[in-house]
């Protein structure tokens, strides 16, 4: 039975574990909307199959699908991937999905944040988003997990935790007037502390250049382990990403985590600019209220948007000269995981990457 609780996680002894803690499995949502995914979403579906298959080498994967796509998804996905009907507006499980909490005694619950499609009517990416907003409640019902309903607009990709009391985020996103205009920075910290259990915040300024999420942290920086943060980097001072990454480096270099540690930064050089081609742009339906995909636009490509699963890490690659070094560097710093690259341009074309389309459910 799944109950909606009227308490808050911290008071109940629950906190958000790090992504690198043990998982029960991974949740994803199936892509289909033709105003975001080109060519009837067929290339994206193949890439989602590749991501789900890669993760399923390490842990169970559940794919939520809209009713009309159930048979197609079931047919395209390997049998070890569970396919369940979960109506949704698009496929960004990291952002519209739940954030799970544990109490260290074997119990798991989830947080259901308010979702407004990355900005609602002030720069949001599509309309409506009502089905997305119900996804966490449906996951709670399917799993029989109790749910905390948090009255704050927040996407899972806008925060990272180290599992030891520290939260990493960006001002560009969390302080954006299209999320929680009535809350101050301090009030946002207070709500997030109460729900995630953290006591220390590391605020970066901006995220990746042209990131349509308003700078989600999961595209620019992530914890590899407590005290070690991977950061998307460029050596090119003329690249529009340079001041963003340099500012993040400066802030991280001066930060202390909840345990009083300084942060070690692992630079992961970004791929060369990834630009939307005319053919890619023409494959996307044009719909009022949905962000267009214009030929010539630079996409927010980053290797940091990878996903850690039990014994593995699934990393986006772009057929780029920097791919090999990114994989090698991440592998070198995660010796207990097998790093797997998945060609991810099709996900990037939709506005995010592998981390954005996955959500871990921790082990109890």
Task: Using CB under 6 A, pick the residue from 157, 271, 316, 341 that binds ligand KQY.
Answer: 157
CA 133 and chain centroid, separation = 16
The alpha-helical segments, DSSP class H, found in 175-288 are: 185-196, 242-254, 278-282
Residues near ligand KQY (CB under 6 A), total? 14
Long-range contacts of 76-83 (CB under 8 A, 24+ apart): 76/45, 76/46, 76/49, 77/49, 77/52, 77/53, 78/49, 78/52, 78/53, 80/56, 81/52, 81/53, 81/56
Note whether 91 binds ligand KQY by CB under 6 A.
no
Query: CB of 120: closest distance to ligand KQY in angstroms?
Result: 14
Asked if 109 and 14 touch (Cβ cutoff 8 Å), the reply is yes
How many CB atoms are closer than 10 A to CB 187? 12
Residue among 330 and 356 whose Cβ is closer to ligand KQY: 356
Asked if 297 and 291 touch (Cβ cutoff 8 Å), the reply is no
Asked if 110 and 99 touch (Cβ cutoff 8 Å), the reply is yes
Residue 223 pairs in a beta bridge with 229
Note whether 43 binds ligand KQY by CB under 6 A.
no
Task: Using CB under 6 A, pick the residue from 31, 215, 271, 352 that binds ligand KQY.
Answer: 352
Choosing from 96, 173, 222, 356, the catalytic residue is 356
How many CB atoms are closer than 10 A to CB 306? 29
Query: CB of 358: closest distance to ligand KQY in angstroms?
Result: 11
- Answer whether the bond into residue 105 is a cis peptide, omega within 30°: no
Task: Using CB under 6 A, pick the residue from 188, 221, 230, 356 that binds ligand KQY.
Answer: 356
- Rounded to whole angstroms, the Cα distance separating 122 from 177 reads 8
Tell me the CA end-to-end span of the chain in Å, nearest whole number: 16
In the stretch 196-235, what mask flags binding to ligand KQY with x, by CB under 6 A? ----------------xx--x-------------------
In the stretch 22-41, what mask flags binding to ligand KQY with x, by CB under 6 A? --------------x-----
Of 313, 329, 228, give the one whose Cα is nearest residue 270. Answer: 329
Note whether 88 binds ligand KQY by CB under 6 A.
no
**Quick one: which segment of 72-80, 127-135, 255-263, 347-355 binds ligand KQY (CB under 6 A)?**
347-355
- Rounded to whole angstroms, the Cα distance separating 277 from 215 reads 23
Residue among 108 and 360 whose Cβ is closer to ligand KQY: 360
**Site residues for ligand KQY, window 290-309 (CB under 6 A)?**
291
Residue among 258 and 287 whose Cβ is closer to ligand KQY: 287
**Site residues for ligand KQY, window 93-122 (CB under 6 A)?**
94-95
Residue among 304 and 317 whose Cβ is closer to ligand KQY: 304
Residue among 95 and 257 whose Cβ is closer to ligand KQY: 95
- Rounded to whole angstroms, the Cα distance separating 130 from 132 reads 6
The verdict on whether 356 is a catalytic residue reads yes
Catalytic residues: 356
| Interface contacts to ligand KQY, rule CB under 6 A | 36, 92, 94-95, 125, 157, 212-213, 216, 291, 350-352, 356
């Amino acid at each position: 039975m799944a109950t909606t609780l009227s308490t808050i996680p911290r008071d109940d002894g629950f906190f958000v574990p790090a992504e690198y803690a043990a998982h029960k499995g991974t949740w994803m949502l199936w892509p289909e909307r033709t105003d975001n995914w080109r060519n009837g979403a067929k290339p994206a579906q193949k890439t989602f199959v590749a991501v789900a298959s890669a993760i399923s080498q390490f842990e169970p994967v559940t794919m939520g699908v809209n009713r009309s796509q159930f048979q197609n998804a079931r047919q395209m996905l390997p049998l070890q991937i569970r396919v369940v009907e979960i109506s949704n507006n698009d496929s960004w499980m990291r952002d519209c999905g739940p954030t799970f909490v544990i109490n260290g005694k074997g119990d798991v619950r989830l947080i259901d944040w308010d979702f407004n499609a990355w900005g609602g009517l002030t720069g949001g990416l599509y309309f409506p988003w009502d089905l997305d907003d119900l996804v966490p409640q449906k996951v709670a019902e399917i799993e029989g997990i109790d749910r905390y309903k948090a009255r704050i607009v927040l996407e899972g990709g806008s925060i990272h935790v180290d599992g030891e009391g520290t939260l990493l985020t960006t001002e560009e996103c969390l302080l954006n007037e299209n999320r929680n205009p009535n809350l101050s920075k301090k009030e946002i910290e207070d709500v997030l502390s109460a729900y995630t259990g953290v006591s220390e915040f590391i605020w970066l300024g901006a995220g990746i250049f042209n990131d349509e999420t308003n700078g989600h942290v999961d595209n620019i920086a992530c914890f590899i382990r407590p005290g070690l943060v991977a950061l998307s980097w460029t050596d090119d001072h003329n690249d529009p990403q340079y001041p963003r990454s340099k500012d993040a480096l400066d802030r991280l270099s001066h930060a202390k985590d909840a345990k009083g540690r300084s942060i070690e930064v692992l630079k992961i050089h970004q791929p060369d600019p990834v630009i939307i081609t005319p053919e890619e742009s023409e494959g996307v339906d044009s719909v009022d209220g949905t962000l267009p995909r214009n030929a010539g636009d630079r996409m927010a490509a980053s290797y940091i948007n990878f996903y850690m699963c039990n014994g593995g890490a699934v990393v986006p690659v772009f057929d780029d000269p920097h791919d090999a070094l990114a994989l090698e560097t991440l592998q070198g710093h995660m010796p207990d995981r097998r790093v797997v690259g998945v060609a991810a341009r099709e996900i990037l074309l939709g506005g995010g990457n592998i981390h954005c389309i996955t959500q871990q459910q921790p082990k109890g």
